[in-house]
Structure 1
Amino acid sequence: MPVRNRWIILSVSMVAQVASVSAMFGVPIVLPQLRDAFGITTAQAGMLAGLPSLGLLLTLLMWGVVIDRVGERSTMALSLVLTAGALGALWIVSDLWGAVVALVLVGAVGGPVNAASGRLVLAWFDAGERGLAMGIRQSALPLGVGLSALVLPGAADAWGFVAAMTLPAALALLAVPLVLATAPGPPTTRPARRSSHAEERAAPAAAGSPYRSRPIWRVHGVSMLLGVPQVALMTYALVYLVQEQGWSPPAAGAVVAVAQVPGAAGRLLLGVRSDRTGDRMRPVRWLAVVSGACLVLLALLPHAWAWTAVPLLLACLVLTMWHNGLTFTAVAEIAGTAWAGRALAVQNWLQAISTTLTPVLMAAVITTAGLPAVFAVSAVFSAAAVAVTPGIRARG
């Protein structure tokens, strides 16, 4: 495939990731229907919504080795087929524990799409375009969540939880032929394109493991910390509107979907800015500051002024989405092409720890202090991220 079509490769990778995201993160969007289907509490349903992340946690490091040795195209196609199969298994389970197994399998087989598409970005785009390209790729998360929020609540109301989750399965299968047709492996040499407007520091990553240095560990740590408020908002925003504000599930889903548009746009804009300045992580620090402040306000102000709940919830949803493209770009650049598949798999794996444990932590918070306390606890993790964030500039 001609190098000029690298944007087509990126687009196909993004479609694959939207399909994977819809499967793995569609469950929180239909949390009320999941709760009703199995006769469980909101806290218990939130824990079920975290099970795909548990599956991701169990297998993602293995997938990283597969990506580096087998290649992106085969790995992504296999993952999408297996994801559709795992969602299809929901039709044959007869009890809650069967659903538990199926949801764990969704995460176990769905993880490599994110890491594989990130490796393609590192290989096909230089530092002058990489922040934008990774921002576009990472916008698949809010777009996938937004698509799920628009479609799944109404489908679950009409057909039930299991039938609604068939839609992400169908999307995953539709993405497979696109991946096989238009997502080849990376070029052996990257073509000359326009350089970054910023001074490009540091030659390619030194040979050997990037985990011998501290910066990559600090980026991983920031991603884990900021993953807590991100997952908390993704899991409980819709049910907060339904339970605390009295909205219907389809209306609440529409609000969550609207927030995904600026969520995706922000990742692109921050990617462009980081390409121009060469600074990947300073914007992440400021995002942690601002999002933490908004979370504190969301936990406190609606008690006195109910009208503040929806604007603050939207602001928090958007702000907690913006950091991912920058942190993934920083990890890929530190690791270099030879280690990118494994390093991005580790990045996803450590984020999966946050994604898995956040619903468990927040279930305890909800039980002891109520749903709004989730936002106050999330703000603590944003504050910790401010201290951990390193200063890293773009690599060529």
Structure 2
Amino acid sequence: MRVRNRWVILSFAMVAQIAGVTAVFGVPAVLPQLGEALGTGTAQAGAVAGLPSLGLLLTLLLWGVVIDRAGERATIVLSLLLTAAALAALRAADGLWGVSAVMLAVGAAAGPVNAASGRLVLTWFSAAERGFAMGVRQSALPLGVALAALVLPGAAERWGFAPAMTLPAALALAAVPLVLLTAAPPPARPGAGGSPGGTAANPYRGPALWRVHGVSMLLGVPQVTLMVYALVYLVQEQGWEAPAAGAAVAAAQLPGAVGRLLLGVWSDRTGDRMRPVRWLAAATAPALLLLTLLPPLWNGAAVPLLLVCLVSTMWHNGLTFTAVAELAGTAWAGRALAAQNWLQAVSTTLTPLLMAAVITLWGLPAVFAVAAVFAAAAVAAVPALRGARAGAHR
């Protein structure tokens, strides 16, 4: 008997997504044990820990085609099984190159779960509740990272790197029967976001979807900038101790997650996904600029401004993912969401390189001014969609 309750199906998909997140982003939590296992320093171990993200980049677009052709359930199950197999292979991997190859395979295998679960939201939820549902789904990333940070370091200290990584493998296998319990996508209904039969027109022939992708990449720059440099800014520029700075940054995750849910509900009620994104970008750009310019004149403004920017840069993701799914329609949603993930991964990868150059030339506070330029550009790039329901009825 298969489950047909959409909220239960969303919960099962979240378990699968959390399993994928712990596999891909759990390695940094056990970086010391990885270095010991490889007999290398922190720099080389860190490079190996980044290989799952490279695996994602190399395969996400291909996985998008698989999602649209084979469906969400089959793709998620295949991804979970391949992820578990790749993690299990760590026990047999030999040396730096062997572990590196396995880490690349882990990222390649785990890639499609995020896009496939987003397509599930499109097919199972109406436009009136899709924003909230996508916001709930987006919470799987911080939950997976938090789970990895809580569980894997202790396991790695006790058992070593490779045995500890069997825990994400076990979670992936445990999620397989849950995903198999879900029913096939429901028949298309008004507001469901396109035809399930795969005959819808190519949404990339128009500019709207490209612009939403572009907005996500632009807003990814301030988001990643705050994620990478907020703690460092508090320590180096404000004189905080690292544990206190880490606690402050961690505390900002809660309003960041809640904001995604609230904006999702708001967009469901108004039928507009992208107008709140424009407002967020318009508010974030001057806040980032002030974070660069005001603290030298009034140091007391530094921490409040930093926390405001840290929170506001987290809020757009659920809305942009929902807009992408609705503009693409069911027949193209897998490819469009995979492209969204891929482009965001590009932004995530390139932003630290850009900001490293900025710090070298102008100092750490200047990264926020540069990030403000990208937020301002996003204001202009946001497409003027006539509400989410308009996108769903293309």
2:345 corresponding residue in structure 1? 352
Structure 1 window deviating more from structure 2 (289-298 vs 116-125): it is 289-298
Deviations 1:127-153 (A, max 9, x none): 111111111112222333343445556
CA 1:125–1:317 in 2, change beyond 3 Å: closer, same or farther?
Answer: same
Aligned pairs for 1:267-282 (under 5 A) are: 267-282=260-275
Deviation at 1:176, TM superposition (A): 2.5
Answering whether residue 318 of structure 2 is matched by residue 325 of structure 1, we say yes
Q: Distance in 2 between matches of 1:73 and 1:164?
A: 28
Larger Rg: 2
Q: Classify 1:334/1:281 alpha carbon distance in 2 versus 1 (closer, same or farther; 3 Å).
A: same
Deviation, structure 1 residue 17: 1.6
Residue 281 of structure 2, aligned match among 279, 284, 288: 288
Contact residue 3 and residue 9 of structure 2 kept, 8 A: no
Correspondence for 1:11: 11
Name the counterpart of 2:24: 24
- Give CA deviations for 1:264-309 in whole Å, capped at 9, x if unaligned: 2111111110111111101111222333334344455666777766
Give the structure 2 partner of residue 131 of structure 1: 131
Q: Which residue of 1 is the match for residue 41 of structure 2?
A: 39
Q: Provide, for residues 341-368 of structure 1, a one-character-per-residue CA deviation record: whole Å limited to 9, x for no partner.
A: 1111121122222123234334444555
The one of 251, 256, 275 equivalent to 1:258 is 251
Task: State the distance in 2 between where 1:344 and 1:241 align.
Answer: 35
CA distance change for structure 1 residues 252 and 123 in 2, over 3 Å: closer, same or farther?
same
148-157 or 4-13, larger mean C-alpha shift: 148-157
Counterpart CA distance in 1 for 2:228 and 2:294 is 21
Higher mean C-alpha displacement, 320-329 vs 231-240: 231-240
Deviation at 1:50, TM superposition (A): 4.7
State the match for 2:75 in structure 1: 75
- Superposition TM-score, scaled by structure 2 size: 0.81
Q: What TM-score, normalized to structure 1?
A: 0.81
Q: 2:41 corresponds to which letter in structure 1?
A: G
Report what 2:121 is aligned to.
Answer: 121
Distance in 1 between residues matched to 2:286 and 2:105, nearest whole Å: 36
**Whole-angstrom CA distance in 2 between matches of 1:142 and 1:246:** 24
Aligned to 2:388: 394
Q: Give, in whole Å, the separation in 2 of the partners of 1:84 and 1:130.
A: 30
Whole-Å Cα distance in 1 between the matches of residues 19 and 128 of structure 2?
Answer: 28
Asked whether the equivalents of residues 193 and 325 of structure 2 are also in contact (C-alpha less than 8 Å), the reply is no
8 Å CA contact 1:76, 1:112 repeated in 2: yes
Pair 389,31 (structure 1): closer, same or farther in 2 beyond 3 Å: farther
Distance 1:390 1:189, change over 3 A: closer
Give the 5 Å matches for 1:148-159.
148-151=148-151
* Aligned counterparts of 1:236 and 1:88: Cα–Cα separation in 2: 34
Q: 1:164 to 1:4 in 2, by over 3 A?
A: closer
Maintained 8 Å contact 1:26/1:148: yes
Distance 1:223 1:343, change over 3 A: same
**Alignment gaps of 5+ in structure 2:** none
Alignment of 1:120-199 (within 5 A): 120-151=120-151, 167-181=167-181, 183-190=182-189
Q: For residue 143 of structure 2, what is the amino acid of its counterpart?
A: L
Moved more, 60-69 or 13-22: 13-22
- Matched residue, 1:104: 104
Q: Which amino acid aligns with 1:353?
A: V
1:196 alignment counterpart: none
Task: Give the Cα separation in 2 of the matches to 1:167 and 1:308.
Answer: 43
State the alpha-carbon separation in 2 of the partners of residues 48 and 319 from structure 1: 31
Which residue of structure 1 aligns with residue 200 of structure 2?
Answer: 207
How far apart, CA to CA, are the structure 1 residues paired with 2:320 and 2:227? Answer: 19
Name the structure, 1 or 2, with higher relative contact order (CA <8 Å, separation 6+).
Answer: 1
Identity among equivalent positions (%) equals 72
Contact persistence 1:115–1:341 (CA under 8 A)? yes
- Over aligned residues, Cα RMSD in angstroms? 3.7
Cα gap change, 1:101 to 1:268, in 2 (>3 Å): same
d(CA) in 2 for partners of 1:265 and 1:140?
Answer: 13
Contact 1:76 1:113 in 2 (8 A): yes
Q: Distance in 2 between matches of 1:66 and 1:337?
A: 13
The aligned amino acid for 2:371 is S
